[in-house]
Amino acid sequence: MPDPHTLQLPLEVTDITDRVAGVDEAGRGPLAGPVVAAAVILDPLRPIGGLADSKTLSADRRAELAALIKERAQAWALGRVEAAEIDRINILQATLGAMRQAVALLHTRPRHVLVDGDRCPALDCPATAIVKGDRRVAAISAASILAKVERDREMFVWDRRYPQYGFARHKGYPTRAHREALRAFGPCPCHRKSFAPVRAVLEVGGGLFT
């Protein structure tokens, strides 16, 4: 039986030494804000030490690594889908759409794409989904870092516009403080109205805070 901790990639991937893109997203679970995806093709001649799942890194370390990724990668790009579109098409399709955008915006066309998770977006090149890929594949780790840093940056912007929700602290995730703010103030324009806690506030008469 194969070692479950050993990463098994298709032969066509293991034979490729460059132009393999890693793809990951940030923001599937929050009640507010966009879902952001990143695609990264690392340069084997310019390695970056310390790449890891973005959730395991401090904010300062993520920022340091994001700057290095942008400087040293062969190519990188970001895709995004806003809250209103998430409400229209659902979070899964929004996530896959953000991933497609990120890959399409790479200035170097990848030969293969490695996607964190258990499914791939529809792409015009071969792709492989890798569960927990952000812990196992450097290019996916790099993508997770870029996506997380970009999304957090945007949530700081929303926090300045609507400080009563605490977006700078929880980044839109359904913490107790966030749920209490939702009940007190109703949703604001960046909230995902199709998500149950937000929908529940709207159903009991909590209007949209503008």
- Judge if 82 and 155 occupy the same domain: yes
- Judge if 92 and 142 occupy the same domain: yes
Total tally of structural domains belonging to the chain? 2
- Residue 2 domain-assigned (yes or no): no
**CA-based nearest residue to 77, from 46, 98, 60, 57:** 98
- Judge if 155 and 190 occupy the same domain: no
- Judge if 183 and 146 occupy the same domain: no
Interatomic CA distance for residues 102 and 85, integer angstroms: 17
205: confidence class by pLDDT, cuts 50, 70, 90: confident
CATH number at residue 131: 3.30.420.10
Contact 188, 33 (CB under 8 A): no
Interatomic CA distance for residues 53 and 35, integer angstroms: 17
Instruction: Give the per-residue pLDDT at 210.
Output: 55
23: confidence class by pLDDT, cuts 50, 70, 90: very high
- Judge if 100 and 168 occupy the same domain: no
Stretch 107-115: mean pLDDT, rounded?
A: 96
- Judge if 130 and 75 occupy the same domain: yes
Contact 78, 104 (CB under 8 A): no
Contact 178, 185 (CB under 8 A): no
- Residue 151 domain-assigned (yes or no): yes
Stretch 192-200: mean pLDDT, rounded?
A: 97
- Residue 4 domain-assigned (yes or no): no
- Judge if 50 and 129 occupy the same domain: yes
Stretch 127-131: mean pLDDT, rounded?
A: 95
Residue with tokens 């460059």: 18
Average pLDDT, the chain: 91
- Judge if 123 and 178 occupy the same domain: no
Stretch 9-30: mean pLDDT, rounded?
A: 77
- Residue 1 domain-assigned (yes or no): no
Residue with tokens 């990188």: 76
**Which 3 state secondary structure label does DSSP give 191?**
strand
- Judge if 110 and 193 occupy the same domain: no
- Residue 3 domain-assigned (yes or no): no
Instruction: Give the per-residue pLDDT at 187.
Output: 96
Residue 205 neighbours by CB under 8 Å, 6+ apart? none
- Judge if 182 and 123 occupy the same domain: no
**99 pLDDT higher than 70:** yes
Domain extent at residue 177: 163-203
- Judge if 137 and 87 occupy the same domain: yes
Stretch 135-143: mean pLDDT, rounded?
A: 95
Interatomic CA distance for residues 144 and 133, integer angstroms: 10
Instruction: Give the per-residue pLDDT at 8.
Output: 56
**204 pLDDT higher than 90:** no
**12 pLDDT higher than 80:** no
Crossing angle for the helix pair 176-185 and 196-203, to the nearest 10 degrees: 30
